[in-house]
């Protein structure tokens, strides 16, 4: 298994906007998942995440 610590990054993201709870929770999960994927890339590259919704 892997462990991700996002303390400063997560605090920075949360300080930029006031998100509804559901959005904040999903954003935290996406941030953690992206960090895990990016750390395990076998070659130089990027992880780009795009989320779309129907609105609030």
Q: Are 27 and 35 in contact (CB under 8 A)?
A: no
- pLDDT band, residue 37 (cuts 50/70/90): confident
Residue spans of alpha helices (H) in 1-56: 7-16, 21-39
Average pLDDT, rounded, for the chain: 88
Inform me whether the pLDDT recorded for 22 exceeds 70: yes
- pLDDT band, residue 56 (cuts 50/70/90): low
Closest Cα to residue 53, out of 21, 23, 13, 16? 23
Q: Are 13 and 44 in contact (CB under 8 A)?
A: no
pLDDT in the model for residue 18: 94
Enumerate the domain spans of the chain: 1-56
pTM of the model: 0.73
């Amino acid at each position: 298994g892997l462990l991700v610590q996002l303390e400063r990054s997560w605090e920075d993201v949360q300080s930029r906007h006031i998100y509804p709870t559901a959005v904040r929770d999903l954003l935290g999960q996406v941030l953690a998942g992206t960090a895990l994927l990016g750390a395990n890339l076998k070659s130089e590259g990027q992880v780009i995440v795009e989320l779309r919704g129907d609105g609030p």
